[in-house]
Amino acid sequence: MTNSPVNILIVDDIVHNITALEALLARPDVAVLVADCGTAALDLLLKHEVALAILDVNMPGMNGFELAALMRGSPRTSQVPIIFLSATAQDASRTFRGYEAGAVDFLYKPFDPRILQSKVDVFVQLEQQKRELAAQLVTTRQMLEANEMLMAVLSHDLRTPLGAVLASAEYLMRTAADEQAATVAARVKNSSLRMARMVDQLLNLARLQGGRLPLQPRSIELATLCRSVIDEFASQESGKQIVFTCTGNTAGA
């Protein structure tokens, strides 16, 4: 849910450190999960999706670096951002090891609380935006599926009268008393066939937009297409002459 709190994991073996971080980071849109060791943290990570993990480096048993390595080795937690906290004196090699373990930042205690708050804010906002995008994607897919269903119903309803028109045109072509009547019947047939193709294309377009139909580009002879369109207009504009001029290669690439 997009309005549910964003989970932040804090892992530290010292209780008052956890209490201080909870007080610093807790707010209505954030749920703080706490663990006092790496094993407890892994258990929480199996049960909850977290937007950020704040790990103390100096823990007995499994230290922060080892916990980070296990997180990076699991598909479920490999992309969770990690911020390391350390109470030792600043050490460039230690900091580098933290970044090698996949940390997005490494803070040494004591640190300015506002710095940590601002960093957490960034990841909370990123998680909220990710949720909103996921919700929009679900809505878009549902709309595309509904559109495809509508197109399927419409195409079915349109094919029935089109079939009747096509059958009538073919009958008139066979029984026409003169050439003019046969020509008109042929135009009706061609228009009906074109309309049927348009119905199929509308359904295919809905499927294409829904990702259910692969796009397969193909070449088309442009002059032939233009002539078929002109023939239809000619049947509607009796007494008027339509001139079609074609130059160059229209065969398509």
Q: Tell me the pLDDT tens digit for each residue of 49-73.
A: 999 999 999 899 899 999 999 999 9
Number of domains making up the chain: 2
Question: In this structure, are 90 and 160 located in the same domain?
Answer: no
Q: Does 103 fall in a domain? A: yes
Look at 212 and 24; give whichever has higher pLDDT: 24
Alpha helices in 103-178 (DSSP H): 113-175
Q: Does 22 fall in a domain? A: yes
Q: Does 107 fall in a domain? A: yes
CB atoms within 10 A of CB 111: 11
Longest dimension (CA), the chain: 104
Look at 207 and 119; give whichever has higher pLDDT: 119
Q: Which domain holds residue 205?
A: 141-210
Question: In this structure, are 91 and 168 located in the same domain?
Answer: no
Q: Which string of b and e fits 190-205 if b means at least 16 CB within 10 Å?
A: bbbeebbeebeebbbe
What are the structure tokens assigned to 119, written together? 């960093």
pLDDT tier, 81 (very low <50, low <70, confident <90, very high otherwise): very high
pLDDT tier, 235 (very low <50, low <70, confident <90, very high otherwise): low
Q: Would you state the pLDDT for residue 102?
A: 80
Look at 237 and 69; give whichever has higher pLDDT: 69
Question: In this structure, are 105 and 150 located in the same domain?
Answer: no
What is the average per-residue pLDDT within 156-165?
83
Q: Would you state the pLDDT for residue 94?
A: 83
pTM beyond 0.75? no
pLDDT tier, 132 (very low <50, low <70, confident <90, very high otherwise): very high
Q: Does 76 fall in a domain? A: yes
